[in-house]
Amino acid sequence: MNPIDVLICDDHPIFRKGLRSVLVSEPGIRVVGEAADGHACLRTLRAHPKAVLLLDIVMPHMDGIACLTELRTRQA
């Protein structure tokens, strides 16, 4: 069975590190990247378009809502 690819998008590095450590210990889950804002998240998703996205809402530069709006626009 193929692993579930996960992308962590949060502006707090400690939270990303903690979440990553929990996820990598789970069989069948592969963390394919981390991003600190919506722009970095969108760039990373280009390489991993089927990743499950764990997305913070409040972030600098581009928040989670704007990121989702842009993602939906790109998929339309």
Query: Domain coordinates of the chain in residue numbers?
Result: 4-75
Helix (H) or strand (E) holding 67: helix 64-75
Closest CA to 12 of 66, 58, 48: 58
What contacts 14, CB < 8 A, 6 or more positions away? none
Structure tokens at 69: 């709006």
Largest CA distance in the chain: 37
pLDDT tens track, the chain, 76 positions: 899 999 999 999 999 999 999 999 999 999 999 999 999 999 999 999 999 999 999 999 999 999 999 999 988 6
Q: Under CATH, to which class is 4-75 assigned?
A: alpha beta
Cα distance between the two ends of the chain: 30
pTM: predicted TM-score of the whole model, two decimal places: 0.92
